Amino acid sequence: MASFDRFVRLLSKYCDRIAQAAVVAMMLLVVGDIVLRAVWRPIPGTYDVVGFIGAVLVSFAIAYCAVQGGHISVELVVARLSQRVQLIINIITGILSLGIFALVTWQCLILAEDMRQVGEVSMSALIPFYPYIYGVAFGCALLCLVILVDLGKSLAEVAKG
């Protein structure tokens, strides 16, 4: 369990590094486009590529954001309840969270496969969509693992009593 926890944390952290690289890439591409457009000609397909970089950025960042507790929740009520009740609530909301992101992952895989078969490409750069949708699916799957680890911890705590 502990090693699985460490694995998920490390994996999300390294994925977040990819998201960070995407931030730099997005900035360089847009700035490069602005500059080159002024002095020579625009970089073709910037509009499409910037959207794809955005998809990579967000997909690879959501899991590590969850590891850091970055996804906002309302602390108002639960913080005042007993430890045990808090754990049980964590388990219920953990299962619900896992459920919704498992669905998103599954559906993104289907959407990506559909797009691959149809051969759907972006408007100007003609880049296929599907690898990036697989990226979104991967990011959501990783988020599922993070939720699963937290769920496992809560279950272990409850079992311990």
Partner 1 sequence: MSPSTVAIISVVILVLLFLLRMPVAYVMAMVGFAGFAYMVSVESSLSILAKDFWMMFSSYSLTVVPMFIFMGTVAFYSGMSSRLYDTAYRFFGNVRGGLALATIAACAGFGAMCGSTNAAAAAMGRVTLPEMRRYNYDPSLATGCVAAAGSLAILIPPSTILIIYGIIVEESIGKLFAAGILPGALLTALFAVTIYILCRVKPSLAPPGAKSTWKERMVSVSGVIEMLLLFALVMGGLFVGWFTPTEAGAAGAGGALVIALARRRLSWRGFLDSLADTTRITAMVFLIVTGATIFGHFISVTRVPFELSEWVGGLALSPNVIMGFIIFGYLIGGCFMDSLALITLTVPILYPLVLSLGFNSIWFGVIIVLVGEMGVITPPVGINVYVIKGVAPDIPLETIFRGIFPFLAAIIVCIAILIVFPQIALFLPSFMMW
Nearer to partner 1, 3 or 111 (CB): 111
Task: Let me know: does 108 contact 131? Beta carbons within 8 Å.
Answer: no
Does residue 125 bind partner 1 (CB under 8 A)? Answer: no
**CB of residue 1 to partner 1, shortest distance in Å:** 23
Does residue 19 bind partner 1 (CB under 8 A)? Answer: yes
Separation of alpha carbons 76 and 115, rounded Å = 43
Of 10, 24, 156, 158, the residue at the interface with partner 1 (CB under 8 A) is 24
- List the x/- string, 50-89, binding to partner 1 by CB under 8 A: xxxxxx-xxxxxx-xxx-xxxxxxxxxxxx---------x
Question: Side chain identity at 71, as an amino acid letter?
Answer: H
Does residue 11 bind partner 1 (CB under 8 A)? Answer: no
Task: Show contacts of 2-6: CB within 8 Å, 24+ apart.
Answer: 4/149, 4/152, 5/149, 5/152, 5/153
Task: Let me know: does 58 contact 19? Beta carbons within 8 Å.
Answer: yes
Residues whose CB is less than 8 angstroms from the CB of residue 63 and which lie 6 or more positions away in sequence, other chains included: 11, 12, 15, 16, 139, 142, 143, 145, 146
Report the interface residues with partner 1, using CB under 8 A.
16, 19-20, 23-24, 26-31, 33-34, 38, 47, 50-55, 57-62, 64-66, 68-79, 89-90, 92-93, 96-97, 99-101, 103-104, 107-108, 110-111, 129, 132-133, 136, 140
